[in-house]
Amino acid sequence: MSAPKRFQPPTGTRDFFPADMAVRRHVEQIWRQVALRHGFDEIDGPTFEHLELYTVKSGDEIVSELFSFRRAGGEKDYALRPEFTPTLARMVAAHGSDYPKPIRWYSIAPMFRAERPQRGRLREHIQWNCDVLGDPSPRAEVDVLAAAAHTLALLGLDPAEVRIRISHRDLVTLLLTRLGGVAEAALTPALAWLDRRLKVEPAAFRARAGELGIATEALACLDELAGAPRPARALLGPAIDALGTRFGAIADGHPALRHLREIATRLEAAGVLDWCDLDLGVVRGLAYYTGTVFEIHEASGAERAIAGGGRYDRLVELFGGPPTPAFGFAMGDVVIRLVLEDRGRLGPRESYLPRPDAFVIDLAAGAPRQDAVLMQLRRAGLHARASGRSSTNLGKLLGDAAKARARTAVIIGSEFERGEVAVKDLDRGAQQVIPLAALDGALRSILHGGAAPH
RNA sequence: GCGACGAUAGCUCAGUCGGUUAGAGCGCCUGAUUGUGGUUCAGGAGGUCGCGGGUUCGAUUCCCGUUCGUCGCCCCA
């Protein structure tokens, strides 16, 4: 026999052993719970798509960032999905008309990218997408943003720790053209450079901005509006309060500003406005965004963006569907988990594993009666486990029960001949002898917090 | 695709200025007169020092390569 070959997981991927999986489920369950409560239906699509789905808008450069492949002997190019939105837009373009508008869908699924892993970025991660399609009004934004804020709260974070930074591409464009003097042709590179504003040296930023034709007036305004994001509450007041004296007068009455103010009004009513900042520095790199864009960041700027999203009113049309305004966002599991760890919001990993309702111990090791009791409990809907060892040492078996974090131990001993078992509440230590026929009820009474009768 | 740094027990790490049997804590297994746990005590198992090559009398230690990881660049979904 040849020497065994040891395999490691591929670069940038993760193995989820039980405790890690339990933490993952903790986050996913909150995502799912929020989506459900907010009226989103779950969908999914293929894990890989035709490569063209991603290149049609972004050009061929993006291929190097995708895992793309071709079936042996085949001629079609495929790619593991790097994001969900193209799949969603494709699905809506094909069958969106079958559903009443607005469509509110979510998905929780793995996404892939071929880049070198670094903090907060792996080659495979689990991503939650939440989208509203067919509603051009600010209600779409509010539906999504409220779900995002609700999620942050349920994860144990508060508005002092994480901020939802909201922006609008039309406002940024207006600023660049009217105040910055940027020509139409230079708009796209100017927006792209803006996206990098906080990642490069201020001097380097100004130098390149000058080349792009962005006037110093606009840069000063950006420093004011994007350097220190102001609470989105400012949108409830005059335009000058929200956008400053220079830009406020120009933007006053602009549809984009009106849109943002309507969003703010509704966010206030929903009780989530205080999670939000207005930050025109948020542009987002993706080409398909058309209006409102936002990112969620840890307040101190630590870690990468926790989530990001925006309006993509043209994308469904681009994939051959009817004109369908859309707004959505995506949150990955990697960064949010880092933030929760940074903030000490995650307990010990093991604490997320499900606790067995009952741990069945048979003092005559290996007897079939143990299987009978286990199945009785399982048929009654309880989570029942037993030790894998063949010991009859009750102390050790109770140790196993404690290690499994079981809530009760069902001990099968000599009483079994009389049709009885001992039931021990492992959290409180109390123990009683119960007829087998009454076992389910006795366990449920313990599990539901009722103190065992003394 | 590029750069820096790292890899010793299941986990977190110490150590070897190149030299006999490589250590600790935690975890795991066994036991402490055979029906009561998460404490204690005593034992025990477990490492080709990531992998491959080179230098050397001798390499876990030095050099090169490689894989994986961490952090950054590019890019950003």
Q: Give A56-94 pLDDT, tens digit per residue.
A: 766 566 677 889 888 888 889 999 999 999 999 999 999
Residue count of chain A: 454
Strand B, nucleotides covered by protein (CB < 7 Å): 1-3, 28, 30-32, 34-38, 48, 67-77
How many whole angstroms separate alpha carbon A163 and alpha carbon A201?
A: 24
The pLDDT assigned to A130 comes to: 97
Global confidence as pTM = 0.92
Q: How confident is the model at residue A452 (pLDDT cuts 50, 70, 90)?
A: very low
The whole-angstrom separation of Cα A17 and Cα A14 is: 9
Task: Check if the beta carbon of residue A63 is closer than 8 Å to that of residue A51.
Answer: yes
Query: pLDDT band at A131, cuts 50/70/90?
Result: very high
Confidence of residue A441 (pLDDT cuts 50, 70, 90): very high
Nucleic chain B contacts, protein chain A, residues 123-162, CB cut-off 7 A: 127
A363 touches strand B (CB under 7 A): yes
Please determine, for residue A217, whether its predicted confidence score (pLDDT) is greater than 70.
yes
Higher per-residue pLDDT: A428 or A444: A444
Strands ordered across the beta sheet of A68-70: A48-50, A77-80, A68-70
Q: What is the pLDDT of residue A407?
A: 92
The predicted-structure confidence for A344-388, as pLDDT tens digits, reads as follows: 888 888 888 889 999 999 888 767 888 999 999 999 999 999 887
Model confidence at A453, in pLDDT bands (50, 70, 90)? very low
- In this complex, the residue with its CA at the shortest distance from the C1' of nucleotide B72 is A118
Domains and CATH numbers, chain A: 18-342 (3.30.930.10), 354-447 (3.40.50.800)
Q: How confident is the model at residue A444 (pLDDT cuts 50, 70, 90)?
A: very high
Cα-trace Rg, chain A: 28
Instruction: Using the structure, give the distance in angstroms from the CA atom of A354 to the C1' atom of B32, rounded to a whole number.
Output: 33
Fill in the amino acid letter for A413: G
Q: pLDDT tens for residues A160-200? A: 999 999 999 999 999 988 888 888 888 888 888 888 887 77
Q: How far is the CA of A6 from the C1' of B9 (A)?
A: 18
ipTM: 0.84
Kindly indicate the confidence band of residue A274, based on its pLDDT and cuts at 50, 70 and 90: very high
Counting residues of chain A whose pLDDT is more than 90, the rounded percentage is 59
Mean pLDDT, chain A, integer:
89
Q: Which of residues 175-214 of A touch strand B (CB under 7 A)?
A: 192, 199
Question: Which pLDDT belongs to residue A59?
Answer: 56
